[in-house]
Amino acid sequence: MNTTPTYVSHLLIKTLGCFTSSCFQIEVSLLPFLSICHHQFISMRVHGFLSLLGVFMVFSRADALFGHGVLRCLFTSTEDVLYLEQVYYNRLLFGQWNSTLGKYTGYNEKAKEIADALNKDKKFLHQEQRNFNKCKSLIPLVFDKLSKPVEPTVKLTLVKATGGRHPNMLVCSAYDFYPKLIQLSWLRNGKETKTDVLSTDELSNGNWFYQIHSYLEFTPSPGEKISCKVEHASLMEPKLYDWELFDESERNKFAVGGAVLLLGLLVFVAGLIFYKRNSTGEKQDNKKNSKIHKKSWSPVFVLVKCVQ
Domains and CATH numbers, the chain: 11-146 (3.10.320.10), 153-245 (2.60.40.10)
pLDDT value of residue 167:
83
Question: Is the pTM higher than 0.85?
Answer: no
- Positions in the chain short of pLDDT 70: 1-65, 245-258, 280-308
What is the three-state SS of 248-264? HHHHHHHHHHHHHHHHH
- Amino acid, res. 231: E
pLDDT value of residue 210:
96
Report d(CA 281, CA 292) in Å as an integer.
17
pLDDT value of residue 70:
85
pLDDT value of residue 63:
53
Residue 52's H or E segment, with its range, is none
pLDDT value of residue 226:
94
Would you call 208 exposed, middle or buried from its count of C-beta atoms within 10 A (0-12, 13-18, 19+)? middle
pLDDT tens sequence across 186-196: 999 999 999 88
CA-wise closest residue to 98 among 40, 54, 41, 44: 54
pLDDT value of residue 291:
56
Query: Each residue of 232-266: b (16+ CB within 10 Å) or e?
Result: beeeeeebebebeeeeeeeeeeeeeeeeeeeeeee
- Amino acid, res. 226: I
pLDDT value of residue 96:
92
pLDDT tens sequence across 65-101: 677 788 888 888 888 899 999 888 888 898 999 999 9
